């Protein structure tokens, strides 16, 4: 079974401290759903072409379905409600190669 991944890119991080409540709740929700952070806050980024050298988070799940279920979970939806107003991110759930 192919793994599932959350890929989040944050085009700008004007108020990283404003993410405290989201980060705490999201971390709990991701771990509870079996997610593992592979790259995240503090990771080095080299961007090419239209890439953005800002915060990138990569989280792995045992399956694509597990990744989707984690996003749709009540715990993660609670975390999303804590994102600051006007906060922008590019978030995707992708299926890995088998």
Q: What is the DSSP letter of 72?
A: H
- Which residues neighbour 13 within 8 Å (Cβ) at sequence distance 6 or greater? 54, 55
For the chain, what percent of residues have pLDDT higher than 70?
A: 95
4-95 topology per CATH? Alpha-Beta Plaits (3.30.70)
Residues across the chain: 98
Instruction: Report the candidate in 59, 51, 72, 53 with the shortest Cα–Cα distance to residue 23.
Output: 59
Domain boundaries, the chain: 4-95
pLDDT tens-place string over residues 29-64: 999 999 999 998 777 888 899 887 778 899 999 999
pTM of the complete model = 0.88
List the one residue out of 88, 83, 84 whose CA is nearest residue 12.
88
Residue 32 confidence (pLDDT): 97
- Over residues 92-97, the mean pLDDT reads 97
Predicted confidence at residue 92, as pLDDT, reads: 96
């Amino acid at each position: 079974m192919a793994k599932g991944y959350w890929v989040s890119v944050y085009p700008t991080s004007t108020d990283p401290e404003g993410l405290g409540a989201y980060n705490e709740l999201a971390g709990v929700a991701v771990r509870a759903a079996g997610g593992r952070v592979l790259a995240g806050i503090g990771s080095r980024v080299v961007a090419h072409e239209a890439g953005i050298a800002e915060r990138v988070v990569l989280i792995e799940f045992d399956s694509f379905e597990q990744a989707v279920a984690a996003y749709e979970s009540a715990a993660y939806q609670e975390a999303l409600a804590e994102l600051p107003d006007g906060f922008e991110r590019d978030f995707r759930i992708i299926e890995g190669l088998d």
